[in-house]
Amino acid sequence: MKIESLLRELPSVENVLSDSRISELVSTGSRRGIKRLVRESIKGWRGRIMAGDVKEIKGTGLEEAIIAEVIAEVKEITAGGRRRAINALGVIIHTNLGRSVLGEEVREEIEKSASGYIDLEVDLDSMERTRREARAARLFSLMTGFEDAHIVNNNAAAVFLAVETLAGGGAVAVSRGELVEIGGSFRLPEILSKAAGRVIELGTTNRTHLSDYREAVEAGADLILKVHRSNYRISGYTDEVSLRELVKLGEESGVPVMYDQGGGLFRRMGGMEDREEMDIGELADTGVNIIAFSCDKLLGGPQGGALLGDSELISRMRSNHLARVLRVGKLTLSGLEKTLSHYWHGEHGKIPVLSMADLSAEEIGIRAEKFAASLRPELPDGIDISITEGGSPIGGGTFPNNPLPTMLVEIILQSGGAEKLSRLLRGESPSVLVRVRKDSILIDLRTVSRNEENILKEKIIRGIGIPEGGSENNA
């Protein structure tokens, strides 16, 4: 069809709105939104026609296509809640899947806070106002050795608040080798340039010396910042200054030293003997003035950012007006306090991040053998299943070179079958995510709960049974 003919087929907004299938979607709250969706759909089709991307319309025409498109989007955006996912990838802290899974008692504590009023900022005996994060801060300081703590909504906010407070009208010194970019295009240089009056970049990408920091202090640096490189590593001809050396320089010069630790390693995990990665308590022993980290990574709590350090510096950050902008709500604090309570009582098995990491390859292998044995009789001829060695990435930018040893369930399919099955599994409800390697899908049960195993098996059997070109929708 010619472009002119296709354009003439485009219906008006009012024609689409008058269709009974659209009009029944309209309510007091959705009227404006439905009209906008119709306009956007018509505009989109017009653009595709003008670009030559639409040669002909199959079925009953453009108006029907637009109506179907609007109905589908309304269904998607109003379904309520996010889609559940079964993470069979083995990545414990998967940022795209919501990072740390919260334990049962933490979820119960959040539900209790969400369903009614709580003593968020009041002492119920005296009825005097209190600090909302005081309990979590007290737990942090008691368990780590730092004098005080403050909680904000994520680690980027923690770094920003600390740098703005201590170097907002001055300068922060940081190694060029630590000016990292991590997921979601988060670039540390941009954050620092907005938080500090001036950023003094030290050394080169691969080598920074103590003399570089000393020169920065002499040039007027108000804060020395050391940054964990997350999932970025430099090897070969390298040199960097240790945190202890920087602390000594800071003590000599009177300039505070801050460490953006990022991951929040509160307790060493099973199988991880990387002594270069200090836990929070060991960081306190270095004498560093301030550290910042995420609460929803290795700590295993809800999303948040923690600042731990010298009481005078933390007090200055707490008094900064930006602290109000970055503060957290009752749900985060309730979940964080319960998570810290588990650490206090040594209940590490109640923190999913830790319990997953603590699983040995042998333990996972036993589960994998049982899973494969139960699945094998259900598979059609020509599809093989076996157990193979592999690694479970901890994720979240932590320990990038140290995956945990694991055992994987490998389902070997015919050519092209692995990609097809992976796509079908992602379209399920709950969605299932697996690894693909050549003509195999790989399943790591480290991040699959016992309750999810039967669901996972059913989804795999169903996915394998869907013929080429068959429907991906749920039955």
Quick: pLDDT tens for 122-146: 999 999 999 999 999 999 999 999 9
Whole-model pTM: value is 0.88
Tell me the CA distances in angstroms from 28 to 17, 25, 39, 41, 76, one per residue in order: 15, 10, 18, 21, 19
| Digit-coded pLDDT (tens) for 229-244 | 876 677 778 788 999 9
In this predicted model, which residue has the larger pLDDT, 79 or 404?
404
Contact 291, 147 (CB under 8 A): no
Contacts of 66 (CB under 8 A, 6+ apart): 11, 16, 38, 41, 42, 45
Question: Which pLDDT band, with edges at 50, 70 and 90, does 184 fall under?
Answer: low
434, pLDDT greater than 90 = yes
Q: What is the pLDDT of residue 267?
A: 84
User: What's residue 59's pLDDT?
Assistant: 57
Cα gap 254→21, rounded to integer Å: 71
Measured between alpha carbons, how far is 319 from 247 in angstroms, rounded to an integer? 25
pLDDT tier, 1 (very low <50, low <70, confident <90, very high otherwise): low
Q: Is the dihedral of CA 60, 62, 65, 70 positive or negative?
A: negative
Cβ-defined contacts of 418-422 (< 8 Å, 24+): 420/468, 421/460, 421/463, 421/464
- pLDDT for the residue numbered 474: 46
Question: For position 133, what pLDDT does the model report?
Answer: 95
Percent of the chain with pLDDT over 70: 93
Whose CA is closest to 253, among 193, 210, 189? 210
For residue 419, is pLDDT > 50? yes
* Pairwise pLDDT comparison (273 vs 404), residue with the higher score: 404
pLDDT at 323: 96
Q: How confident is the model at residue 272 (pLDDT cuts 50, 70, 90)?
A: low
Q: What dihedral do alpha carbons 92, 97, 100, 106 form, nearest 10°?
A: -130
Confidence of residue 276 (pLDDT cuts 50, 70, 90): low
Confidence of residue 213 (pLDDT cuts 50, 70, 90): very high
The predicted structure's pLDDT at residue 415: 84
Q: Which of 244, 329, 323, 311 is nearest to 282 (CA)?
A: 244
In tens, the pLDDT along 277-299 reads 789 999 999 999 999 999 999 99
pLDDT of residue 315: 97
Q: From 286, 238, 253, select the one nearest 173 (Cα to Cα).
A: 253
Domains and CATH numbers, the chain: 3-77 (no CATH), 85-92+357-465 (3.90.1150.180), 104-349 (3.40.640.10)
Q: pLDDT averaged over the chain?
A: 91
Instruction: Check residue 273 and give its pLDDT.
Output: 56
Indicate the range of 1-5, 130-134, 268-272, 387-391 predicted with least confidence: 268-272
